[in-house]
Chains A and B, each alone.
Chain A
């Protein structure tokens, strides 16, 4: 039973570039959430996708966008990268978009902006 998988594991970009991160949810899960974890902070919610639509969004600028595919996998896109975007990006999946569901996390993508 495959858990949540994320790719790539590590990524180095320069300011102004664009990046796409990918996530495959745990088998049987239909909801994907993305989080940004900066150094010394807890995971910060970016957005959540359910039924191929953005269901909720955190306090992140429009440079952060996403997509969910019919097979429930998801992408996180960040445009016009800034130094402050350097962080660990976590993907989490769950069954259903309601609360009270434990999130199953991937190992994350470490993004470094030079």
Chain B
């Protein structure tokens, strides 16, 4: 199973872009990269996912390197409410029961 490595914590100034890196050097060709975030003791909402192309939605952008061994989640204009634990996850399995294995995540602290 491909695993991910994330820095344990990061700080970001409010209003600035938050760039959260993730390494997944053992990712295989048919595995997707997913990002979720968790605010204290709540279920982690989905943010974004991608395979090899960069993706953007109303919340964030996902930049995946050409070799797919790493990716970066970008929150374009971080707010205090973006303070949370962010999980980068590689989709495991090739069946419809593909499961998500969580790593330790990055605790992002957005400061005023």
Q: Do A and B come from one complex?
A: no
Interfacial residues, chain A to chain B (CB-CB below 8 A) = none
Interfacial residues, chain B to chain A (CB-CB below 8 A) = none
